[in-house]
Each structure stands twice: as structure tokens, then as C-alpha cells.
A and B are shown apart, each in its own frame.
Chain A
């Protein structure tokens, strides 16, 4: 037996659940708040439900597919802190004859030996073997030096020959926090004991 609902105000009126939903939909279609935007050139309005349907339809089909397919031949480097960088890359189509791939992180730092004035910076390279054509990783930089600038390359190694496939733009690394550079030090030692204060003109 189909359950019916009766109005408290008029017990002669009975509705099935389906009939109630039909009424509800009709009322909604005609009277639900409609949304418009000043961004639209024409006076187009939508109900919440219509907006949600469009939003879901777009989200279902367009999330990241387009980008994932086309964002190829890219290698990017992002600084995290003075000791870490994050690299992500997409080499593109699989290469049949690749024997191995490596990520080279090139570190540039100021010369420790200031007597060598002929070279402004010294370069060091970290080599990390990679397996995926499209991936990302966080790289911990060696303690032994403080890099000012990092850049990366993806290198294909084939029969002991290396070929650069991708090169990133260089990124500036944050500098290590100087533990001595604290406010308290300045208050107690620098400012009060060294009252020369501000020393350079704006």
C-alpha cells in the first residue's frame, strides 16, 4: 500500500511522496532564489541546483586531465628552506632507448677561499638517479656548503654518454638563519653598547 501524507490543515488532501516531490520541484523551479552576477553581460540567472550541476559537470571532466597531458618537457625547482629544494619534472613521452636518467642539482655558492679572485662562484653538482618520467622530489642539500643559487637538469645517460634533456630556471636559496642575529642580542649588545646606531643614509 502506498503511504500518503495528509495536511493537518485539510485532511481531505493526501499526497504520495512522489506527488510531494513533484510539487516541491515545481515550486523550486518557479520560485527558488535565482543567482546572477554583475560579471555576466546578459541577465542570466541560475538556481543553486543549476549552478551545482554545472560546477559538477565541469569538475568531473576537466580536473587535471588537460594539464597533465600537456605539461611536458618541464623541470622546475622550488626553494623550501636553506637546506631543501623541491624539484618536479615531466619529461614527456617515454624514451625507448634510455638506459638511465639522473637529476643534477647544480649548486652555486660564494667562494670560501676569498683569495681566488678570478672566480666569483664555485659550482657543485649533486647527481640523483631517477626512474620516473613525470614525478617530483624534495632534495636535501649537503651540509657542507651553503648554496646561494640552485638550478637543475635532467640528464639522459646512454652508453656512458650524457645528454641534457631539461634545464630548470635557477632559484635563489634562502640563507641559513644566523642564530646570533636575535633581537635580544641587539637590545643588549649591539644597540646599547654600540650606539652609533643608524649608519647609512637613505
Chain B
């Protein structure tokens, strides 16, 4: 019997949450929590797998905004300050809980965990997580890929295909600058696809991409092999279909593994449970809602909180990993009667460790178990394509992995106001660049144009409309859009009046310190191509 394949993709992304204009900034903690709970544990997992010579293949998408955040000196310093705060807090907790055996044990667990995380971050990885990921890429086990520049929701930027191409090209360029090569695939932000996107991707050098399952299952004609064999667009780009059923084992909030009562409760943080006098390490004031990353309870009813037991959770994660591998194996056995079925599973990387604390342990065990099953092999998309010469040609269907499968989450009453603004900004900068690109601009004018393009990209992020719909950080998301609009308008106005204020421009370059190689001339070349097409 031939093997079946597991194509596992993790997509790591955070919006651009860097704010040097504040001494500390709440949303920067999203990055710090993700480093401690997800990115460092994933690297530690990769290190252990390498040490034990486990054979596997895992694809990890790192978004350009996340790459920028992880490489940023200021945020690296602030992350160490965050670790200092955690350390100070847990020292206090060791003292506070010493009379209670259960809580003292879990406090001791965190004391050790924070120490190990610090040691890994500062000593093993020397603050440079991208370099650590690159090492595993070079070893051939990890496949690194990326996504659009600021994770723009491409079907809703498609009013101008040049805007889509600018997102894609800037994303791939940023990756290339960090890792020294251009990936052969790209993660589509929110798995969102519109008919024709494959042409932009092909032009950018992409060979294949993944869609949510229904984007493939509803393709025209309907693929005879469903989502368990890649299909081919007319232009030759290959599409893998994400297996929603398999992903539900992990992703579903009600029935997925992460909801097991043995696991740590995400929402039970001592930053929200203790009085401010116990949270001085985080400068807590009365009424503050702080996430310290220290969580003492397993998933349980608020009126009957149970203390988290790490070793029991680890045991459960291993059981769930075995169950998952068993299900995958069963599935490929069913499918494996005449072909080489591939199960495509893709998740947000931050699920592993951040939302689901035990996720990295589960993942490690899935990888270890898969490596021992002769009928199952973990692969990347390009590995699979090397094994197969024939694919059905189809036209994939518009789709996303969001609620209801299309664009609703990113376009509704909560966020529709942003799109006219984004389109208008694009039209303005496109017109301006086309008007001046052939002229000899001063260095200051060139910088202002480039910075306006950075603001345009930053306002296009899918995170802002997502957060507005989710209602979780609405004010923050709205402020990000309006601030970037303001910065864009300011620069645009400066350029139109030929009065660029260098002091203000420099301040904006410091605050939005992303895409250092961005060049308006590259944007101009894209505009010209689409102008010629029209």
C-alpha cells in the first residue's frame, strides 16, 4: 500500500504592534505573550526533534509584520523587560502562595518555565528568533514561507489588482531580505481567494498555495479527488485544499482538543484575578485588565475553579496527539486505494501555546508519532508535487477561512467605513507616483513617498477589520486605521504642496519602521504594468 501524506502548515502572524511613542504599550504584549507561549516553545520543539533526529516536514508561514517585530531592537529590549516583570511577579507569587500546596506547586512551575524561556530567548537564540527558525529551514525539516506584506485581505483590495500585487510583492521581498531566498509558495491572508488571484501569484514567482477546502471543493469543474489531491489552475499554479474536518479536531472551540478540562484555561490570568497590590511588577492600577501570562487554573467552571496540573495536561496532549494521528492514518487508509492522498491541515501558529497552552506538546507528539508510521509521511507542498505529475485543471472558487467562508467578517457594518478610505488613499498615491516617478526627486521627497506607501500598506492589514468585527480591540483597530490614514494624508499633502517637513517625516519613519527596502519606483513599475493592460 502506498503512503498517505500529512501536509501541516502553521501560519504565524501579528499586526504591526510597535509603539515607540509610548514607554509601554498594551498591544505590544500580544507579541511578548506570543514569543513566550508560542514562538519560543515551537523553536524548543524543533530543537528537540532535531536532537532526536526525528524525520518530519513542517511548513511555517511568518508574516512580514511579525518578522519585522521579531527583529526589532526596541521590542527585543521590551520583551526582556516583560520577562523581568514576569520574573518579579512570580517571585512574589512564590511567597504569596507558599501556604497552599497546590498553588505553590503551580507557582513553582511558572518560576521554572519563565527562567527556561528567558534562557532560551537570551542565551540559546540571542534574541534573534528568525535566525533560529532559519537554522531549522537550513536543516531541511522546516519549510519557511510568508504572506502578503501587512496581511491585507486580498479579495477586498482587488478593486485595483496593482494593490494586490503590491501587497504580495512587498511581502515576498521582506521575506527574501530576512532569509536570503524567495519562497515558492505564499500563505494567503485569511486563506482568502478571488478568481484570478493566481495570476498575480504566478507573476510573483509562486508555484502553489493553499485554499480553504470549499475553495477547492466548489471549483469548476468539481475536483474528482476532492481536497485530497492538489488541483491545478489554468495558469499552472497548484492549489491544495485545507481539510476542514481534520482542522476541526483542533480548531473547534466546543469539540476540539483544546477544550479538554485537563488543559490550562486561557481566560484565567492572575492579572485579572488578584488585587493590584499583588501585581506591582506590572504596575497594575485598580480596574486594570492585565495579562501576565501566569494562569493557575485548568478549564473549569468559574464557581468551581480547578488548579492546573501540568503533568496531567501533558498526558492528555499526548493522548490527543495519538488520537489525531490515528484519525489521519485511518483517513489516508480509506483514501489510499488508488492514489497518494494528502491531508492538508493549516492553523494559526498562535493557537499552539498561546490559545492552547499545551498545543506545542501536542504538535511535537503528532510529529514524533507520524514519523513512526510507515503509512504516513509529513511533507511540504513542494515535496508532494515532486511525487505527482498529473493534476486536474480547475477554476478554484472564491473563498476564505473566515466565518461563513467568504468576506463577511472583513466587510460588514462594523468595518465597512475603512474601504473607501483605503481605496482613496491608493488612488491618490498611485496618481502621485505616476505623476512624479519620471522626475528627479529630492531625497526628502523620495522618503516621503516611500513612507506614504508604508502607511498605505499598514492601513490595509486584515487585522483591523477583523478586530472591529470581533469587538475585542475595536478602539485599537480603529485608531490604527485612522492614524495611518492621518499619516498618509499628512505626507500626501506635504508632497502635493512640495513642503516636506523633515522632522515630522523622520518621526513617522521611526514610528512605522517597517519595509526598509520599500521603493516607490517598484510600486510605479507595478502601476505601469496594469496601466498597459488596461
Q: Please give the distance in Å from B15's CB to the nearest CB on chain A.
A: 17
Answer yes or no: B138 CB below 8 A from chain A CBs: no
Instruction: Give Cα distance in the complex from A63 to B180, angstroms.
Output: 38
Contact of B159 among A169, A194, A196, A202 (CB under 8 A): A169
Answer yes or no: B493 CB below 8 A from chain A CBs: yes
Are the C-beta atoms of B483 and A59 separated by less than 8 Å?
yes
Are the C-beta atoms of A172 and B411 separated by less than 8 Å?
no
Assess A51 versus B411: contact at CB under 8 Å? Given A174-B406, A197-B225, A198-B391.
no
Contact of A79 among B225, B331, B407, B486 (CB under 8 A): B407
Interface flags for A56-99 (1: CB within 8 Å of B; 0: not) read 00111111111100110010101111101010101000000000
Which one, A4-12, A32-40, A125-133, is touching chain B?
A: A32-40
With CB as the reference atom, state the residue of chain A lying closest to B160.
A169
In the complex, which residues 9-56 of chain A have their Cβ closer than 8 Å to any Cβ of chain B? Answer: 35-42, 44, 46, 48-52, 54-55
With CB as the reference atom, state the residue of chain B lying closest to A201.
B390
Instruction: Give Cα distance in the complex from A103 to B56, angstroms.
Output: 56
Interface centre among A50, A172, A175, A192 (most CB of B within 10 A): A175
How many of chain B's residues have a CB under 8 angstroms from any CB in A? 86
- Chain A residues contacting B196 (CB-CB under 8 Å) are 172
Answer yes or no: B115 CB below 8 A from chain A CBs: no
Q: Please give the distance in Å from B237's CB to the nearest CB on chain A.
A: 11
Size category, A interface: 35 or more
Answer yes or no: A120 CB below 8 A from chain B CBs: no
Which one, A111-119, A139-147, A151-159, A180-188, is touching chain B?
A: A180-188
- Chain A residues contacting B226 (CB-CB under 8 Å) are 183, 185-187, 190-191
Q: Please give the distance in Å from A23's CB to the nearest CB on chain B.
A: 18
Instruction: Give Cα distance in the complex from A201 to B22, angstroms.
Output: 58
Are the C-beta atoms of B407 and A78 separated by less than 8 Å?
yes
Interface flags for A152-171 (1: CB within 8 Å of B; 0: not) read 00000000000000000100
Answer yes or no: B45 CB below 8 A from chain A CBs: no
- Chain B residues contacting A187 (CB-CB under 8 Å) are 226, 228, 331, 334-335
Are the C-beta atoms of B423 and A76 separated by less than 8 Å?
yes
Are the C-beta atoms of A58 and B411 separated by less than 8 Å?
no
Q: How many A-B residue pairs have CB under 8 A?
A: 229
Q: Please give the distance in Å from A164's CB to the nearest CB on chain B.
A: 20
Are the C-beta atoms of B335 and A198 separated by less than 8 Å?
no
- Chain A residues contacting B292 (CB-CB under 8 Å) are none
Q: Please give the distance in Å from B446's CB to the nearest CB on chain A.
A: 9
Q: Please give the distance in Å from A147's CB to the nearest CB on chain B.
A: 13
- Chain A residues contacting B421 (CB-CB under 8 Å) are 64, 67
With CB as the reference atom, state the residue of chain B lying closest to A82.
B406
- Chain B residues contacting A52 (CB-CB under 8 Å) are 21-22
- Chain B residues contacting A58 (CB-CB under 8 Å) are 483, 486-487, 490, 504, 508
Answer yes or no: B222 CB below 8 A from chain A CBs: yes
With CB as the reference atom, state the residue of chain A lying closest to B229.
A198
Contact of B489 among A55, A62, A172, A184 (CB under 8 A): A62
Are the C-beta atoms of B424 and A191 separated by less than 8 Å?
no
- Chain A residues contacting B513 (CB-CB under 8 Å) are 37-39
Question: What are the 8 tightest A-B residue pairs by CB atom distance, in nearest-first order?
Answer: A186-B226, A174-B398, A51-B21, A39-B509, A44-B506, A81-B406, A52-B21, A181-B217
Report B's interface with A, CB cutoff 8 A.
20-23, 74, 155-156, 159, 194-196, 213-214, 217-218, 220, 222, 224-229, 232, 236, 243-245, 331, 334-335, 337-339, 389-393, 397-399, 404-408, 411-413, 416-417, 419-421, 423-425, 427-428, 443-444, 447, 450-451, 482-483, 485-487, 489-490, 492-493, 502-511, 513, 516
Report A's interface with B, CB cutoff 8 A.
35-42, 44, 46, 48-52, 54-55, 58-67, 70-71, 74, 76, 78-82, 84, 86, 88, 90, 136, 138, 169, 172-175, 177-178, 181-187, 190-192, 194-202
Given contacts A62-B489, A70-B428, A187-B226, 16 further A-B contacts (CB under 8 A): A37-B509, A39-B516, A40-B509, A40-B510, A41-B443, A44-B502, A51-B511, A64-B482, A67-B424, A70-B424, A174-B398, A175-B398, A187-B335, A191-B225, A191-B226, A191-B337
| Cβ contacts A to B, 5 pairs, < 8 Å | A40-B510, A44-B506, A55-B21, A55-B507, A61-B490
